């Protein structure tokens, strides 16, 4: 059973999300909150597997709440109305697993919660890539390999680049002619070497380091 906390300052939106999740036998909504401060209390008390967190809320917003919950095991998924919201990028840096638009179909919401609970980053939507490319300053073309990449081998840099473009382990394996098990090992080593929590933080790191540049695939 996957436990979930839903955080949104709009009661109607919150009720809708809860209603959708409760239709699934494997999902259990164990708490709700209308602002970031209350969200921290509920998450610490209920210890959910996944937290759906609104970005813009009165008082303590979702970004600061995410930052304060960075060491908690819960997978935080941001909820936003805006597909190019710079605040979501800040939240990803703070430790969020990914983000969703509030107008996604119910089945996509359910799939996203399950994915987050498995430890996957929610990077498939093209809006994630556009957001990162818009708000991360890029180094000039032709720049030498950044020193930030020194801990990684050439193959690990290749794998990290594929992660940054939102590709799954299976897709990376196909593109680099590796087994999925080998890709998984590379991913684990990358996260360990760079001190990153998950694939979402790896994407942010890849753009900030200059390994991946806007508009390149």
Domain boundaries, the chain: 2-133, 139-209
pLDDT band at 69 (very low <50, low <70, confident <90, very high): very high
**Would you say 206 and 156 are in contact if contact means Cβ atoms under 8 Å apart?**
no
Instruction: Report whether CATH 1.10.10.10 matches the domain 139-209.
Output: yes
CA nearest neighbour of 153 among 120, 200, 185, 197: 185
**Whether 115 contacts 199, CB under 8 Å:** no
pTM of the model: 0.67
Under the banding of pLDDT at 50, 70 and 90, the label for residue 91 is confident
Please provide the size of the chain in residues: 217
**Which CATH code for domain 2-133?**
3.40.50.2300
Q: Contact, 180 vs 169, CB < 8 A?
A: yes
Number of H helices, E strands in the chain: 10, 5
pLDDT recorded at residue 124:
45
Between CA 20 and CA 15 the distance in angstroms is 9
Is-same-fold flag (2-133; 139-209)? no
């Amino acid at each position: 059973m996957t436990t979930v906390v839903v955080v949104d300052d709009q009661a109607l939106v919150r009720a809708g999300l809860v209603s959708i999740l409760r239709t699934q036998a494997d999902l259990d909504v164990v708490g709700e909150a209308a602002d970031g401060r209350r969200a921290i209390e509920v998450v610490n008390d209920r210890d959910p597997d996944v937290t759906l967190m609104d970005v813009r809320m009165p008082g303590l917003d979702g970004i600061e709440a995410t930052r304060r919950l960075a060491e908690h095991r819960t997978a935080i998924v941001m909820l936003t109305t805006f597909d190019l919201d710079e605040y979501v990028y800040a939240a990803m840096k703070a430790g969020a697993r990914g983000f969703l638009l509030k107008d996604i179909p119910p089945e996509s919401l359910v799939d996203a919660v399950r994915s987050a609970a498995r430890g996957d980053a929610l990077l498939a939507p093209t809006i994630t890539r556009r957001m990162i490319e818009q708000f991360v300053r890029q180094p000039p073309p032709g720049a030498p390999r950044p020193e930030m990449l020194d801990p990684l081998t050439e193959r690990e840099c290749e794998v990290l680049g594929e992660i940054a473009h939102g590709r799954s382990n299976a897709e990376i394996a196909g593109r680099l002619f590796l087994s999925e098990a080998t890709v998984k090992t590379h991913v684990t080593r990358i996260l360990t070497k760079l001190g990153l929590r998950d694939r979402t933080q790896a994407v942010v790191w890849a753009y900030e380091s200059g390994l991946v540049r806007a508009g390149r695939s």
